Amino acid sequence: MTSSISEDSPGYAEGPVVIQMLCLSPCVALRMASFLVMVSILLLIQHAVAIDELRAHPYSDVTLPCHFSFVKGTDKLEFTWEREDIREEFEVEDDKDYFQFFRFYDFFEVFSKVVYQFRNNMEQLEEQNSMYEKRVSVNRAEISEGILSLLLKNVNFQDQAIYKCMAVSPIGRGESKIKLIVEDSEEPQVEFKQIDDETVATCVSTGWYYLPNVTWLDRGERDLSNYSTVEIYEEQMNGAHRVFSVLKYPVKLNEKYVCRIIETDVNFQPFRTIRKYPRRKFHRMYDYY
C-alpha cells in the first residue's frame, strides 16, 4: 500500500522531508535472500541450456522449425521470427583490457531484428530486415496446426545466426530458438548426363569463386575427385567465376553422388557476423552484458 502527503494533508509543513527506512525482520530478509538465490540459479540454468543447431549449405533452402501446441487457429494470433547475432566470448587477463573493449564498442548499432511477422491474419513485413526480403515464408495452411516453421531460401553466409520464434494467442504464449550454422562449402544439385555415350554426373556451382576446390564423394564418402574434371562455366570481370564439373568415374544411376565446392583463397573466403565479448579470467565483478 502506498500513501502520499499533499499541501492539504494534516501535518504537512514546508522544509526538508525526512524519510524513514523500515528495517526488514530477519524472517523477511531471509525470504528475500532465498528468492534472489533462486533467481540467480534460474538465470544460470537458462544461460546454460544449449540451443539446437541446424546446418545448411550456402545457396540451399532450409526450414527453421517452430511448433506450439497452444496455437489452434489464426484468430488473434501473433507470431514473430527474429534473428540474434551469434555471440562468442574471449578471455581477458585484467580489467584494463576488459574496460578498453567497452570504451570503443559501438552499442548503438541499429538494425531490424525482424525476419518475419504475422498479425491480424496476415503477414506484416513493414519492419522486416531487408536481408530477408522475398526470401522467407511460412506455410499458411499449417499455421492453424501450430506449425510456424520458417522457410529461408537461398541461404548465404550472413544468415548464420540464432533465430527466435515467438507466438502469442488467446490461450498461451511461447518462445523457441534455433542456431543456423552455414557450412563453408556449397553442394550444388547433381545431374546425370550422357557425354560421348558415357553416363556421367555433373554439377554447376551457384556461388562465385576465385580458387575453387571441387570434391566428389559417393554414398560411402569415398573421394572420387581424381575421376573428375573442372572447367570455368561463367566468369566475371573481377576474376570470380562459376565452375562446371564432370565426374567420369563409372557412374551408377542408383548411386548417390555429392559435389562439394569450397573457396580455397583465404582472401576471398566468406565471413559471418559473430559478436565477440570479453570475459574476465577472474570473476571479481559481473560482466556488463
CATH classification of the domain holding 213 = 2.60.40.10
221 and 116 within one domain: no
Within-domain flag for 27: no
Look up the domain containing 263 and give its range.
191-268
144 and 212 within one domain: no
Residue with the larger pLDDT of the pair 274 and 185: 185
198 and 98 within one domain: no
> At 127, is the pLDDT very low, low, confident or very high (cuts 50, 70, 90)?
very high
What is the model's pTM? 0.68
227 and 167 within one domain: no
User: Residue 81: which residues within 8 A CB-CB, separation 6 or more?
Assistant: 64, 66, 114, 115, 116, 117, 136, 148, 150, 163, 164, 165, 166
* Number of domains the chain is built from: 2
CB 116 within 8 A of CB 81: yes
Residue 159 has pLDDT above 80, yes or no: yes
> What pLDDT sits at residue 17?
40
> What pLDDT sits at residue 112?
78
CB 273 within 8 A of CB 182: no
Q: What mean pLDDT value characterizes the chain? A: 81
157 and 249 within one domain: no
pLDDT in tens, 52-79: 999 999 999 999 999 999 999 999 999 9
Residue with the larger pLDDT of the pair 112 and 231: 231
170 and 95 within one domain: yes
> What pLDDT sits at residue 234?
96
> At 85, is the pLDDT very low, low, confident or very high (cuts 50, 70, 90)?
confident
Residue 2 has pLDDT above 90, yes or no: no
Residue 192 has pLDDT above 50, yes or no: yes
> What pLDDT sits at residue 273?
61
Of residues 126, 135, 152, the one with CA closest to residue 65: 152
Q: Which run of H or E residues covers position 213?
A: strand 212-218
pLDDT in tens, 240-280: 999 999 999 999 999 999 999 999 998 888 766 655 555 65
Rg (CA), the chain: 28
Average pLDDT of span 189-214: 96
180 and 231 within one domain: no
CB 202 within 8 A of CB 216: no
Beta-bridge partner residues of 172: 169
| SS3 at position 206 | coil
Residue with the larger pLDDT of the pair 87 and 64: 64
Return d(Cα 230, Cα 264) in angstroms, integer.
Answer: 15
Within-domain flag for 19: no
Within-domain flag for 2: no
> What pLDDT sits at residue 280?
57
Query: In this structure, what DSSP letter does residue 266 have?
Result: G
CB 255 within 8 A of CB 216: no
179 and 102 within one domain: yes
174 and 199 within one domain: no
Within-domain flag for 24: no
Within-domain flag for 97: yes
Within-domain flag for 249: yes
Return d(Cα 185, Cα 212) in angstroms, integer.
Answer: 10
> At 209, is the pLDDT very low, low, confident or very high (cuts 50, 70, 90)?
very high
179 and 68 within one domain: yes
At position 104, the amino acid (one-letter code) is F
147 and 203 within one domain: no
224 and 209 within one domain: yes
> What pLDDT sits at residue 240?
95
> What pLDDT sits at residue 278?
57
Residue 51 has pLDDT above 70, yes or no: yes
Residue with the larger pLDDT of the pair 219 and 7: 219
C-alpha grid cell, residue 205: 556451382
Within-domain flag for 205: yes
